[in-house]
Amino acid sequence: SAYTASRAGQRRGRRVGFPRFKSKKRAPLSFRIRSKTSAAGRAGIRVGERAPRTVTLPGIGALAVRQDTRRLRRMLAKGRAKVVSATVSHRAGRWAVSLACEAADLHEARRHPPKTGAAGWVGVDRGLSTFVAAARADGTQVLRVDGWPRPARAAAARQRRLSRKVTGKQRGSHNRAKAAARLGRHHARVAAIRRRFLHQVSNQLVNTHDRLAIETLTITGMLGNRRLASAVADAAWGELARQLTYKQQWRAGQLALVDRWYPSTKTCSACRRVAPAMPLHQRTFTCQACGYQADRDHNAAVNLAVWAEQHHAQSRDLPAGGPVTNAGRGEGSGSRTRAGETGPDDAGTAPTPPGARRGRPRRALSHNSTEL
Ligand SMILES: [Zn+2]
């Protein structure tokens, strides 16, 4: 559909080419199996049947998995969840199985408590020298992450060496395939280091702060700057924003997206005067009008918080199309939930007050990925 829309001029961005066919040789190898229930009422995909850490797939049998399956097994046993399908994929020498499940909502007591209170918005400035600077509108610093791993830069020499080993081998040979697999594992490792770091940062932010404001960055535009491109790509700001978005949804927190034209770096967070553009190497912000001096990234973070305070006040009910609000976990599971016979009487489910339902599909699909 992306291809046809692109051809018809109904799709923005770069032209999308004709879809490629799945390759038997190239990663990611993957396939999906649906869970059909037998006439006897037995599900096709079963978890923990042979041993606790196994997943049984139709036609394949029981597979040992690495990850703990306890919570999923308990939900399945209680009829609070149902496996819809399993996707088996192969990446960088490892097989993984992801189970798509239909599940009832968590009981209110088990949900993350909304962090109510006077705490306002926290501005989060993403940068290259300081990875993340977070501050409140009143100027208090909340979090500052100066060092970050720069995984791709650290691994660049090894990557070049491994790439050379691939191109030095004869095309189509087994040795070339082995060298390519080695390079693939290297890339997967770099990605894993980056992902782990981003999860640590995003967890720190969402665990303690209810309302976060980040700038919408034109990352594609920044990648056009050849001096910055590799560092910008390595920083994976887009991935950080994605993680913050879904983690705030889980926790009923809010994420405000600050307009990208808002001059967060150039504005004085003390007197609100907008100064002329600052070159990147200038790490300290000095106000020409009031003499206020602060770290560049801290000043920007404060300004982002100020923007969010002005545009979103303190209300919890925000207009649609604004920041990401609660994803709707507050909705209990009614009798129509396919994920089982979980009614209001169910010990693990909160009764749904009439009228409390929000416009959200009743089926909740969640992915539970586990490594083989
Ligand atoms: Zn000033």
- State the catalytic residue, choosing from 102, 105, 125, 210: 125
> How far is it, in rounded angstroms, from Cα 45 to Cα 35?
5
Angle between helix axes 174-208 and 237-250 (nearest 10 degrees) is: 50
**CA 188, 190, 194, 197 torsion-angle sign:** positive
Task: Tell me which of 36-40, 185-189, 302-306 is least confident.
Answer: 36-40
Task: Name the active-site residue from 102, 297, 331, 346.
Answer: 297
Q: Which one-letter amino acid corresponds to residue 215?
A: E
- Label residue 319 by pLDDT band (50, 70, 90): very low
What residues does each domain of the chain span? 2-104+346-352+361-371, 122-312
Cα(274)–Cα(259) distance, rounded to whole angstroms? 16
* Backbone phi, psi, residue 104, to 5°: -75, 160
Distance 285 CA to ligand 1 centre (A): 10
pLDDT given for residue 350 in this prediction: 39
Inter-CA distances, 343 with 73, 333, 337, Å: 20, 7, 9
**How confident is residue 46, by pLDDT bands cut at 50, 70 and 90?**
very high
* Cis omega (within 30 of 0) for bond into 28: yes
CA distance 298 to 223: 24
Handedness of CA 89, 94, 95, 97 (dihedral sign): negative
Q: How far is the CA of 294 from the centre of ligand 1 (A)?
A: 10
SS3 212: strand
Q: Are 137 and 124 in contact (CB under 8 A)?
A: no
The overall average pLDDT reported for the chain is: 80
List the catalytic residue out of 102, 105, 215, 346. Answer: 215
Phi, psi (rounded to 5 degrees) for 193: -65, -45
Do residues 214 and 241 touch, judged by C-beta distance below 8 A?
A: yes
Q: Is 210 a catalytic residue?
A: no
Write the pLDDT tens digit of every residue in 10-34.
Answer: 888 888 999 888 777 766 788 999 9
User: From the CA of 293, how far away is ligand 1's center (Å)?
Assistant: 8
- Residues forming beta bridges with residue 59, ordered by sequence position: none
**At 36, which amino acid appears?**
K
Token pair in block for residue 126: 């993403």
Q: How far is the CA of 147 from the centre of ligand 1 (A)?
A: 29
Residue 259 catalytic? Answer: no
Told to judge if 295 belongs to the known catalytic residues of this protein, a careful annotator would answer no
Q: Chain-centre distance of CA 347, in angstroms? A: 31
Give the Å distance between the CA of 125 and the centre of ligand 1: 19
Residue pointed to by tokens 């879904």: 246
299-311 residue pLDDT tens: 999 999 999 888 8
> pLDDT for 336-352, tens place per residue?
333 433 333 333 333 43
CB-based contacts of 343, cutoff 8 Å, min separation 6: 334, 335, 349
Q: How many angstroms does the Cα of residue 351 sit away from the middle of ligand 1? A: 53
- In this prediction, residue 220 carries a pLDDT of 75
In the reported structure, the alpha carbon of residue 277 is separated from the centroid of ligand 1 by a whole-number distance in angstroms of: 15
Percent of the chain at pLDDT above 90? 35
Per cent of the chain over pLDDT 70 is 80
> Cα(275) to centroid of ligand 1, in Å?
9
- Mean pLDDT across the stretch 343-372? 39
Would you place residue 291 in the very low, low, confident or very high pLDDT band (cuts 50, 70, 90)?
A: confident
